[in-house]
């Protein structure tokens, strides 16, 4: 008998049913209920996709290395790229260069690697494995946990705690089942950078319970004053020179304005990277040789990164000046998001702003889950200041005007 669609459904991975719609799917559904004001041109501050121009020297490197399309890439990438990344880590964080052959692995962007790590780390033979995530969070962490056969648990990042990872929120029984924790520093969406004391506590928990730490650091090169502390740097300062159970994930997407290149790396514990490389051999995620050549050029240059930071610094200063009289704006430690508390429900704020002023922002509740009795994203919105300076300033003026009118209505 032929297999029907219903029969095919029964052999699907049941864990797929646990996945929630992505935040931007929820946002599209929210906006379908209204029509954007056609008097304004649309401005989107919802997606963290860099809009600054890709540096020309990176484009030139791509073009001049097109001959690499004739070759299959190796899973581990070229020695030249791995060595370049190791040297960049040494320069950036003032640490000894990791062993590029055992402690560095190029990947097709941090998103793919953050997801696939869980498939490598989670031991399904142990009862009820747990993956811990910050909350709000990058939804890839949750999906990775579910599809690896684990249960995600969340640590709420709250304004009263300065968005710290308060590890005491979770009971010992959960920590005992934990096999992997995702952290994001600088954080998405809060922009908070984890201090050394917080890393020390996390390392101690990892030693006690044996879980792997995945440190998502894709926003590390967008900062305003102090360079963000990195996980490898924290480990070195605390004497953990072998980076045991620690992996750092980084990317060129935000640093160099090349999100379409899908170029990043994983660095840290050689034992975990060895197993991760084995998994990726079967996963088929090898970086294109053309992308590798352009990535070497990008990691070796800091001039364009400094200019990138200058643009973000200007935008944050100007946007904050416009919004601070009407909304509680706090400059993040790093990253390109503003995480702003709203005077009404975050979904209503976003929907009405889109309807009246054709500006798109992301409701914070779409970036979080209810945990310990609350959704820490409720009554917040995330603004991604990724557009040009003039467009970002125009969006800020519209948001300010909308908020002033909202205040008048609420006061009546």
Q: In sequence order, what DSSP letters do the residues of 90-138 get, joined into one string?
A: HHHHTSPPP-TTTSEEEES-HHHHHHHHHHHH--TTSSS-EEEEEES--
Return the DSSP state at 246.
Answer: E
The CATH number assigned to the domain with range 5-53+304-411 reads 3.90.1150.10
Asked if the domains 5-53+304-411 and 70-301 are classified in one and the same CATH topology, the answer is no
Pairing mode of beta strands 43-44, 130-135: unpaired
If phi over 0 gives left and psi between -120 and 50 gives alpha, with beta otherwise, what is residue 262?
left
Which tokens in the block code for residue 50?
A: 């860099």
> Cα separation of 228 and 230, whole Å?
6
How remote is the C-alpha of 410 from its chain's centroid?
A: 35
Q: What is residue 225's predicted lDDT score, i.e. its pLDDT?
A: 87
Contact predicate 101/198, CB 8 Å: no
pLDDT at 69 over 70: yes
Pairing of strands 130-135, 151-156: parallel
CATH number listed for the domain at residues 70-301: 3.40.640.10
Return the H-helix or E-strand segment holding 280: helix 270-283
pLDDT of residue 11: 74
Mean pLDDT, range 74-81, rounded to an integer? 94
The pairing of beta strand 264-268 with beta strand 104-107: antiparallel
Tokens of 365: 């509740």
Report the pLDDT averaged over residues 313-340: 97
Question: Residue 255 contacts by C-beta under 8 Å, 6 or more apart in sequence?
Answer: 220, 221, 222, 298, 305, 308
pLDDT confidence tier of residue 284, bands split at 50, 70 and 90: confident
Nearest to 362 by CA among 346, 374, 376, 373: 346
Q: How many Cβ atoms sit within 10 Å of the Cβ of residue 14? A: 9
Which candidate, 356, 329, 370, 349, places its Cα nearest to that of 46?
Answer: 349
Q: Give the CA distances from residue 273 to residues 104, 265, 409, in Å, rounded to whole numbers and listed in that order.
A: 8, 11, 56
Query: Are β-strands 380-384 and 362-363 bridged in parallel, bridged antiparallel, or unpaired?
Result: antiparallel
Tokens of 173: 């029984």
- Residue 1 is predicted with a pLDDT of 55
Residues 192 and 228: their CA atoms lie apart, in Å, by: 9
pLDDT at 270 over 60: yes
What digits encode the pLDDT tens for the residues 227-253?
999 999 999 999 999 999 999 999 999
Tens digits of residue pLDDT in 163-195: 999 999 999 999 999 999 999 999 999 999 999
- Residue 221 has phi, psi (to 5 degrees) of -100, 5
Which residue(s) pair with 266 in the sheet? 105, 249
What average pLDDT is seen over the chain? 95
Check: CB of residue 338 under 8 Å from CB of residue 329: yes
User: Count of alpha carbons within 13 Å of 312, Cβ hemisphere only?
Assistant: 31
Q: Can you tell me the distance from the alpha carbon of 280 to that of 298, in angstroms, rounded to the nearest whole number?
A: 24
Whole-number pLDDT of residue 392: 98
Q: Domain spans of the chain? A: 5-53+304-411, 70-301
Give yes or no for residue 3 having a pLDDT over 80: no
Three-class SS of residue 359?
Answer: strand
d(CA 242, CA 245): 9
Helices (H), 122-267: 140-147, 172-177, 196-209, 231-237, 252-256
pLDDT classification of 145: cutoffs 50, 70, 90: very high
Q: How confident is the model at residue 12 (pLDDT cuts 50, 70, 90)?
A: confident
């Amino acid at each position: 008998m032929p297999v029907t669609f219903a029969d095919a459904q029964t052999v699907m991975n049941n864990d797929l049913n646990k996945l929630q719609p992505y935040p931007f799917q929820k946002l599209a559904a929210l906006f379908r209920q209204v029509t954007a004001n056609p008097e304004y041109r649309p401005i989107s501050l919802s997606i963290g996709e860099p809009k600054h121009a890709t540096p020309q020297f990176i484009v030139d490197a791509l073009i001049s290395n097109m001959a690499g399309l004739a070759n299959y890439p190796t899973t581990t990438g070229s020695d030249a790229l791995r060595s370049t990344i190791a040297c960049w880590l040494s320069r950036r964080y003032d640490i000894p260069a990791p062993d590029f052959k055992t402690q560095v692995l190029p990947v097709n962007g941090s998103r793919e690697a953050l997801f696939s790590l869980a498939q490598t780390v989670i031991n399904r033979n142990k009862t009820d494995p747990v993956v811990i995530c910050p909350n709000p969070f990058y939804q890839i962490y949750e999906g990775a946990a579910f599809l690896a056969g684990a249960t995600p648990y969340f640590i709420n990042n709250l304004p009263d705690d300065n968005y710290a990872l308060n590890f005491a929120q979770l009971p010992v029984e959960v920590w005992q089942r934990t096999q992997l924790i995702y952290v994001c520093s600088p954080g998405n969406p809060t922009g908070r950078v984890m201090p050394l004391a917080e890393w020390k506590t996390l390392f101690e928990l990892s030693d006690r319970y044996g879980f792997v730490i995945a440190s998502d650091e894709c926003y590390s090169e967008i900062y305003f004053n102090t360079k963000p502390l990195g996980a490898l740097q924290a480990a070195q300062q605390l004497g953990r020179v072998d980076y045991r159970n620690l992996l750092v994930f980084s990317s060129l997407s935000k640093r160099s304005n090349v999100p379409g290149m899908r170029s990043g790396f994983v660095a840290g514990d050689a034992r975990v990277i060895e197993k991760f490389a084995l998994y990726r051999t079967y996963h088929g995620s090898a970086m294109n040789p053309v992308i590798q050549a352009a990535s070497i050029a990008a990691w070796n240059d800091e001039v364009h990164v400094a200019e990138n930071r200058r643009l973000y610094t200007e935008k944050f200063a100007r946007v904050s000046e416009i919004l601070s009289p009407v909304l509680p704006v706090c400059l993040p430690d790093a990253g390109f998001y503003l995480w702003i508390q709203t005077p009404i429900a975050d979904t209503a704020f976003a929907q009405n702003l889109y309807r009246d002023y054709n500006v798109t922002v992301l409701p914070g509740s779409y970036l979080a889950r209810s945990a310990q009795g609350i959704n820490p994203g409720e009554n917040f919105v995330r603004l991604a200041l990724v557009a040009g300076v003039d467009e970002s300033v125009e969006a800020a003026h519209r948001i300010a005007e909308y908020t002033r009118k909202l205040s008048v209505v609420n006061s009546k």
